[in-house]
Amino acid sequence: MANKDQFDVNKIQYFHIRDLGFDYLIPDDVLLPQGQREAIQFSLKIVKTLGVDDKIIRLFITIELKTGGKNNKEATASYATEHLFKVENLDALIKKVGDSFEVDSILDNTITGLAYSTVRGLLYQKFSGTWFSNFILPITKPADLEESTE
């Protein structure tokens, strides 16, 4: 694996951000407790793909929210985004392991943290004016986020 001297944040470009989908459904009889973030359950999925030849790391992030209501009805929301990072020295920060690649942990945590924090702001903007407007994606260490690499 790469040594810490090979990682250089100046060699990373946040190349592209794209909304892939946004949807929410709030049945008439579901009351979302205003000001109570803990009443909203959320799940997060991160999928990473590598474009080794193009020196691109792509992250797909999907967030799903739900809160219960009367008669077991739920208010739900989902938001999906795509994030592209161009890494100038990607070849020095990855290692081939079998049929897949292992990404340097510092690089991995950096781009995951950038994308996750960006989604936090985008979610806040998307949910403004909806019943999910009180939800703010929690702060967490990028290494603790569940992900899959393809």
Domains of the chain: 9-140 (3.10.420.10)
| Range 110-129 average pLDDT | 91
The mean pLDDT value of the chain amounts to 84
For the entire predicted model, the pTM comes to: 0.83
The beta strand positions in 4-149, using DSSP E, are 12-25, 41-51, 56-68, 74-87, 94-97, 100-103, 147-149
More confident residue, 33 or 12: 12
pLDDT confidence of residue 55 = 94
Instruction: Give Dmax (Cα) for the chain.
Output: 57
Strand ranges of the sheet holding 56-68, from the earlier edge strand across to the other edge: 12-25, 74-87, 56-68, 41-51, 147-149
Q: Give the pLDDT band of residue 134 (cuts 50, 70, 90).
A: confident
Q: State CA 51 to chain mean position distance.
A: 19
pLDDT confidence of residue 150 = 44
Total Cβ atoms within 10 A of residue 48: 20
pLDDT confidence of residue 50 = 92
Note the pLDDT tens digit of each residue in 22-71: 998 877 666 655 555 557 888 999 999 999 899 999 999 999 988 865 55
Total Cβ atoms within 10 A of residue 108: 19
In the numeric block, the tokens 């459904």 are attached to: 25
More confident residue, 145 or 124: 124
Q: Mean pLDDT lowest for which of 7-11, 13-17, 28-32, 111-115? A: 28-32
